[in-house]
Amino acid sequence: MTMSANIRHRQRAGDVIRNLKVESFGGQQVLVTGGAGFVGVHLGRALHLLGSKVTLFDKAKPLEDYDPDIKVVQGDIRDRELLEKLCEGVDCVFHIASYGMSGREMMKASDFIESINVGGTENIVEACIKQNVPRLVYTSTHNVVFAGQDIENGDESLPLLPLSAHKDDYSRTKSMAEQLAMKSNGRETKDGSILNVCVIRPVAIYGAGEQRHFPRIVKNMEQGLLCMKIGGSHIKVPWVHVDNLVNGHILAAEGLSNHKEHIAAGQVYFIADKAPVNQFEFLRPLITGLGYRYPSLIVPVWFMYIVALLSEWLHTILKPVINFQPLMVRTELFQVAVTHHFSIEKAKKQLGYEPVERDLTDMVQYFLERGHRKKSSSIGAFLFTVILAVLFVVLLMSLLPLAE
């Protein structure tokens, strides 16, 4: 019998975790918010392997199986009273919970997104203060400094973008929440001790079982929509495998501990794989592994920007009738079609972070095991190409000067 992608991945992740040189988790109580999500479940599993007593907190049930010794609590991040109960006796909180990262979630009402991303973070901070939690790791996003501008090997000295510069409420509210978390570092807790806080800024995440980006990518393949590349091969973007992101979180929390002299307190860290890649070259093993043809058609970024704008506009207009998944929104386009990547030197030097080599092999197997492979020829790609070509010609004609 072939070993499943998830089991194989867990074994490799376990080997990596056991080799981490950390001392502050054995027997300690830890709380992971957003614990039902892809990163949360993997982090909880790793902390359990390190000997921690783990509680996963989320509104939903975990996406994957977890050890029965791991406690799971369902609830709302906006419920401060519940969070205060969960933080009692906890040594470290990993605050991962958020909303609005991708797709139709990004089009949700801004006050709703803010209530979770900002209000939820405030609740976590205040619960930590009341219950004397010494360590808090906040999971932010690289979007707090990126909104479509070229960034090459950017580091943590990059200033946060003005809130008005963000094209989506997720990035805007994550920036607000990051600032709130950073300001809470060094605050005195109820018993007079100190809350030590640091921030992790992940880039785009991958790994077998990822549920935000890759199911949409595979669905686009199946519908014949992934028949083109956006921009040139020179465009480089960052990715991080979930194993590396989990390691980054654990090492950051270790850096907040007494025996590390709180080196991470008040610090921000970009966490990514070793090197940036071209988005479509990165996806090539998945595309071909599922039996699809690697796209050769290249469309310009400016054209897809207009498509993204139209997609957002249509979603806004039609949302009361049908809450469809937008083809692409502008923030997602920037992630694919604008060079941006970040240095991980600070995390390496201060935390001892060393990303392990990973690829899409397990992801290919994961989707194959679930029946996602090319089954037959589809006219979807042809029709989509024709529609794009017509739009492209119409837009070009509209830009030409009128004959006098």
Give the residue numbers annotated as catalytic, written as ranges.
Answer: 170
Alpha carbons 216 and 220: distance in angstroms, whole number: 6
CA 11 vs CA 54, 241, 244, 358: distances in Å: 19, 15, 14, 14
CA 227 vs CA 1, 306, 372: distances in Å: 34, 18, 17
How many C-beta neighbours within 10 Å does residue 279 have? 19
Sign of the dihedral defined by the CA atoms of residues 384, 390, 394, 395, in that order: positive
Which residue bears the tokens 């000997």? 51
How many C-beta neighbours within 10 Å does residue 350 have? 17
Question: DSSP characters for 156-199?
Answer: TTSPPPPGGG-SSHHHHHHHHHHHHHHHHTT-B-TTS-B-EEEE
Structure tokens at 281: 């070259």
Alpha carbons 14 and 318: distance in angstroms, whole number: 46
Strands (E) in 107-170, as ranges, are 135-139, 151-154
Q: Which of 203, 216, 217 is nearest to 105 (CA)?
A: 216
CA 129 vs CA 63, 116, 134, 138: distances in Å: 30, 19, 9, 15
Alpha carbons 224 and 380: distance in angstroms, whole number: 5
Sign of the dihedral defined by the CA atoms of residues 363, 366, 369, 375, in that order: negative
